[in-house]
Structure 1
Amino acid sequence: MVLSLGLFLGAPSVASAAGFTLQGATRVSFTGKGPAGFKLVGTTEKLSLQDDGQSITFTVPLDSLDTGIELRNRHMKEKYLETARFPQAVFVVKRSELLVPARGETKSGQARGMLTLHGETREVVLQYRAERAADQTTKVTSKVKLSFKDFGVAVPSYLGVTVKPDIDIDVAFEVTQA
């Protein structure tokens, strides 16, 4: 239920030395599935990006996730994600992992990075698409699949409905390059 983080960027082949900053709205969502077509979706618009020139770090405050039902939110945060102990999910990717579009181009690819969730850090692979406008703005969408079990998160269950441990995470945002 957390994050994935998308990648993007600005030079023709690999991310260049200029820094990236978030621009405009962001959206992080997770989707879990259960029996009989049950679908659990949670979202947040809170995402931060830090670019140190070698790696890009994305952070999502887990208390900001919303499933649309307050009781379910409380269970998710207190019982499963334990946000008091593990308040955020962090994804770090090396800039050298990122293919980036030139102005007016779109690039798609995958990148390996390290995701920290629930006190556990694991390598994850994300798929991304980056569409660069004629200016310095790049729209990015990304998707990652993960299993709660890999991060020590108990599989959510309530009143006999158990969500599968496999979660899809989607992220959309825009960046500009300095």
Structure 2
Amino acid sequence: MKRILYLLAMLCTFTGLQAQNKKVTKTGEISFEASVPAFEEVKAKSRNATFVLNTDTGEIASLVLVKSFRFKIALMEEHFNENYIESDRYPKATFKGKIDDFKMSSLTDAAKDYTLRGKLEVHGKTKDVVIPAKIKKVGDDIVIHADFNVTVDDFAIAIPSVVSKKVSKNVAVSFDCTLK
């Protein structure tokens, strides 16, 4: 009986140690904008993105359900999901990569510049990306902010000719997350 209790205690201790090297959120914010001057704003935000960071290795992953993006205009949201991103066919967007030179011990409450390198998958297409980011530590949490650009052509997203002058092919993407 002592042996079983000892093994159980070791398992609980090991599980606790394993959990400490991961920081997670399910409420990360991702937004994008593909607006063109003099036309209606093409902008959306999701507040339901999942981010996971391995604090030992700097590996980072993110997933967002495409239907979680909200636009100011419902019809624009419907067209985005049905005609552009085809969210029934491609329901999620993901990023898997690593933060260059990441060391948990070097984080402070002042944001520092880092580079995220990895693979971004959107609309069933994957592209290698390099994303500049600002990372800081707030208490026990890690806060990450990034701004970067992608093109619709990189992910085979077709913009109908009827609206091609109203929607930019260059899309500004940003994300903010607080990992706990």
- Higher helix proportion (structure 1 or 2): 2
| 1:45 paired residue among 34, 44, 47 | 47
Query: Match for residue 19 of structure 1?
Result: 22
**Does 1:164 find its partner at 2:178?**
no
Counterparts of 1:99 and 1:167 in 2: how far apart (Å)?
31
| TM alignment of 1:136-151, pairs within 5 A | 136-151=140-155
Gaps of 5+ in 2: 1-19
1:49 CA drift (Å): 2.3
Contact 2:46 2:70 in 1 (8 A): yes
Counterparts of 2:49 and 2:78 in 1: how far apart (Å)?
20
Q: Which has the larger radius of gyration?
A: 2
Query: What code does the residue aligned with 2:126 have?
Result: T
Counterparts of 1:98 and 1:156 in 2: how far apart (Å)?
42
Counterparts of 2:121 and 2:45 in 1: how far apart (Å)?
18
Query: Match for residue 31 of structure 1?
Result: 33
Query: Match for residue 83 of structure 2?
Result: 79
Query: What code does the residue aligned with 2:109 have?
Result: G
Counterparts of 1:99 and 1:127 in 2: how far apart (Å)?
16
Contact 2:99 2:117 in 1 (8 A): no
Give the superposed CA RMSD: 2.4
Gaps of 5+ in 1: 1-16
For 2:70, what is the secondary structure of its paired residue?
coil
1:151 CA drift (Å): 0.5
Residues 97 and 89 of structure 1: is their aligned pair in 2 closer, same or farther, counting only changes over 3 Å?
farther
Contact 1:97 1:112 in 2 (8 A): no
Contact 2:107 2:135 in 1 (8 A): no
Residues 160 and 88 of structure 1: is their aligned pair in 2 closer, same or farther, counting only changes over 3 Å?
closer
1:37 CA drift (Å): 5.7
Structure of higher RCO (CA pairs closer than 8 Å, 6+ residues apart):
1
Percent identity, please.
Answer: 21
**Given the two structures, how large is their TM-score scaled by the length of structure 1?**
0.77
Residues 82 and 34 of structure 1: is their aligned pair in 2 closer, same or farther, counting only changes over 3 Å?
same
Contact 2:143 2:178 in 1 (8 A): yes
Query: What code does the residue aligned with 1:21 have?
Result: V
Query: Match for residue 89 of structure 1?
Result: 93
Counterparts of 1:76 and 1:97 in 2: how far apart (Å)?
37
Alignment: residue pair count: 158
**Given the two structures, how large is their TM-score scaled by the length of structure 2?**
0.76
Counterparts of 1:98 and 1:157 in 2: how far apart (Å)?
44
Contact 2:52 2:179 in 1 (8 A): no
Counterparts of 2:88 and 2:136 in 1: how far apart (Å)?
37
